Amino acid sequence: MSPATPPTAPAGSLLAAVDLHKAYGATPALDGAHFSIHPGEVVAVMGPSGSGKSTLLHCLAGIVTPDSGSITYQGRELSSMPDRERSALRRSEFGFVFQFGQLVPELTCVENVALPLRLNGVKRRDAEQRALGWMRKLEVDDLAAKRPGEVSGGQGQRVAVARALVTDPRVLFADEPTGALDSLNGERVMELFTEAARSTNAAVVLVTHEARVAAYSDREVVVRDGKSRSTEFAA
């Protein structure tokens, strides 16, 4: 009996992973997971706690290196890139939104949003002007001079979304972006987040276990016991 033909990522994928394996000690986190996303697409990665969905996101973003398997971004193998090049991708072409925002408490909201641009060498005035533009789109420009501790959870998460979008990234990674919010604030953040991402044709990898959040996506990938289920892959 001949071995099964390995699956291949769909043509035209912006970011794709094939047959990913990752273990922490004796505990497998990913066990042959697959993933793909196209420009302008919002894909929800769903699954119960401990299923491997956050590990998948971290591998796709080049934060964690899988033990085996392939991850390609714009046709290039991510794991073969030097660390410096992967870091540059995360500063410019990848954007990140996390459950608790992870804003820098010592900086004002506009300084937080401008931070990725400043790290890329953009002058302060230009960086803060671009930051204010995104804050205006996300309806938090009136909070520019406030610090994160002076704003509500929903407002802070919109500031975090503006920070993720300010570099015009090709891929946005969102890990439980509404998990710390009530349902009303969560839905408002998701509406603004997906509208803003679609306006730039960014691909969005959305990790969530909530059906109401996944409803904002174009497609779902279910991760369970480190394996993924998606109709996008062909053997």
Q: For residue 227, with 0-12 CB atoms within 10 Å meaning exposed, 13-18 middle and 19 or more buried, which class applies? A: middle
Which pair of structure tokens corresponds to residue 135?
A: 């804050």
Domain extents in the chain = 8-93+204-209+217-230
105 DSSP β-pair partners: none
Q: What is the pLDDT of residue 232?
A: 59
Q: pTM for the full model? A: 0.89
CA–CA distance from 13 to each of 30, 146, 194 (Å)? 21, 40, 19
Helix (H) or strand (E) holding 190: helix 183-199
Give the per-residue pLDDT at 7.
64
Task: Give the three-class secondary structure for 226.
Answer: coil
Residue 163 to residues 15, 108, 135, Cα–Cα distance (Å): 22, 12, 9
Reading the chain (235 residues) residue by residue, the pLDDT tens digits are 444 555 666 778 999 999 999 999 999 999 999 999 999 999 999 998 889 999 999 999 999 999 999 999 998 999 888 989 988 898 889 999 988 778 999 999 999 999 999 999 999 999 999 999 999 999 999 999 999 999 999 999 999 999 999 999 999 999 988 888 888 888 988 998 898 888 999 999 999 988 999 999 999 999 998 888 875 554 4
Give the C-alpha separation, 61 to 82, whole Å: 14
Does domain 8-93+204-209+217-230 fall under CATH 3.40.50.300? My reply is yes
**CA separation for the pair 131, 163 (Å, rounded):** 7
Instruction: Write down the pLDDT at residue 5.
Output: 52
Contact predicate 204/38, CB 8 Å: no
Rounded Cα distance between 218 and 134, Å, is 24
Q: Write the DSSP assignment of 106-137 as a string of letters.
A: TS-HHHHHHHHHHHTT--HHHHHHHHHHHHHH
DSSP β-bridge partners for residue 73: 15, 76
Q: Two tokens at 234?
A: 């062909």
| Alpha-carbon span 150 to 108, nearest angstrom | 10
Angle (nearest 5°) at CA 42 between 38 and 48 = 120
